[in-house]
Chains A and B, each alone.
Chain A
């Protein structure tokens, strides 16, 4: 808290740099143009394709077509429901795995913190396609886990025992594992950042006032780390709900997600209109989720300041 007030005090006497309007315009124009051309216009194009037919006339037919028959409705609900469900589960698992690690990191010595940080960065920089493919090697029928089981069975055979082979690939669990694997660091880092900045004096104050370790965690540390948790949740949920590669490789044909559907409608030579409509729905879902998360983190910060 003190740091925040300090920053505010430091920021106050600062006025906008004395630059002529001319320079400002010169500095801003290229970027603003860039934003309009490469960010806003493309998004408008998605909306345009979603609301027009092949010849460019306005229509709601693309959306209506997605709901046209009972079968199509079922597919839509199925795919969207599955994407949301998998992404939510993956986010929840990531949170459960990440929070203790972030906590441990924040409470380690400086050197250990730095080393752990480094070790977490490396997987983030590795190509996720190849890593996902490696998980196929690990999980597949002739993969490494089953190889290990076969080896154990060989040792157990004199005793007349045998472990069953596991068929893990192309199951929902495999897709969720892929999501957790790929996005776990994005959950750890924001939580760690918040926890590391947390002033130890707050914890000490709570302890002085007689709080147990669990109470400190529940009443002080956890609420104060909520902004980090919120940003971690969005950083895991958004890519999970829109992924297509992970589900293609680890989920087989049965676990299609929104991302697969969108990718197929654009790369598979279908009309762009259907894919654009799906993308628009996906964006809508994400905007709603972001608003929920923002409400969460802001509300907590606000409560603390008050």
Chain B
């Protein structure tokens, strides 16, 4: 690419879009250090809201629920999804494979609100069958989260499986591995990057999900639901403080990842040069 051709527009335009995307974050950061108990009137600087955040048990409980749910659901989705991907990949009948793949794609295509209410209807119905008063809760949320994470795991593992040599597992078997050992030692290492990216994607999706959780959560609160219930009345600046912390965590994580990636790239470049 000819660098000289890149004019002012090339430099300015990304800045403008980024400013648009980050405008709320700037507001969030400023308000979180607000001295006043308001999200519109801004003055001074204090850490008051960070202190209050830590001493709000509901917020901490919601945070804990969110993290536990995200860890559990992403791990379940990873195991189930990887097994499913291996199974789908091994399917002999092409039509059956394409049917399963279309069903896998369904939750991705469906609007979240429809997925949410459909699962709520199921859980309420099953709860009535079992004669339970309160059928929605942490368990139903876990099931729902695993369900909407599964397609992402499958779709990130499947391409890796298609790239691996099918004779790899065969060779491992010939050398005396059990079927499980062959998968563990020969297949898994070559699809690992897909499995990990599926896991990470599930984790972030689960962490962030509001719409589906909103319908299947019952009385259990995750962070997004807690924030939602707060925005119905009035949002305290402590919620902004929490979001700023989340923002900082994400940002640092991505920067670290980026630096590592850049280093790996440099190494690769050096390796290519004799």
Chain A residues proximal to chain B, CB less than 8 Å = 11, 14-19, 23-24, 27-28, 30-32, 34-35, 37-43, 45-46, 49, 97, 100-101, 104-105, 107-108, 110-111, 114-116, 118-123, 125-135, 137-138, 140, 142-144, 181, 184-185, 200, 238-239, 241-242, 244-245, 249, 259, 262-263, 266-267, 272, 275-276, 279, 282-283, 286, 290
Selected contact of A120 from candidates B21, B109, B118, CB within 8 Å = B21
**Minimum Cβ distance to chain A for residue B101 (Å):** 11
Interface 0/1 of B231-274, CB less than 8 Å to A:
10001000110010011001100110110011001000000000
Would you give 19 A-B contacts (Cβ < 8 Å), ordered by A? A14-B162, A17-B90, A17-B170, A24-B87, A31-B150, A43-B110, A45-B122, A49-B121, A114-B258, A125-B208, A126-B247, A129-B231, A131-B28, A242-B111, A259-B113, A279-B113, A279-B114, A279-B117, A282-B111
A130 touches B83 (CB 8 A): no
B111 touches A239 (CB 8 A): yes
Instruction: Supply 17 further A-B pairs (C-beta < 8 A) apart from A130-B243, A134-B25, A276-B121.
Output: A18-B170, A38-B122, A42-B118, A43-B106, A118-B257, A121-B254, A122-B254, A126-B250, A127-B208, A129-B224, A134-B24, A134-B27, A181-B20, A200-B1, A259-B111, A282-B113, A282-B114
A27 touches B90 (CB 8 A): yes
- Judge if B147 is at the interface, Cβ distance under 8 Å: yes
- In B15-60, the 8 Å CB interface with A consists of 17-18, 20-25, 27-28, 31, 39-41
Chain A CB within 10 Å — which of B27, B100, B179 has the most? B27
**Minimum Cβ distance to chain A for residue B22 (Å):** 7
Using known A-B contacts A38-B119, A38-B147, A279-B113, determine if residue A28 contacts B255 with beta carbons closer than 8 Å.
no
Total A-B Cβ pairs within 8 A: 225
Interface size on B, residues (CB 8 A): 87
B109 touches A28 (CB 8 A): no
B112 touches A38 (CB 8 A): no
- Judge if B137 is at the interface, Cβ distance under 8 Å: no
Report whether over half of chain A's contact residues are helix, strand or loop; otherwise say mixed.
Answer: helix
A16 touches B166 (CB 8 A): yes
On chain A, the residues within 8 Å of B18 by CB distance are 119
On chain B, the residues within 8 Å of A28 by CB distance are 84, 87-88, 91, 100
On chain B, the residues within 8 Å of A110 by CB distance are 265
A272 touches B121 (CB 8 A): yes
A101 touches B224 (CB 8 A): no
- Judge if B176 is at the interface, Cβ distance under 8 Å: no
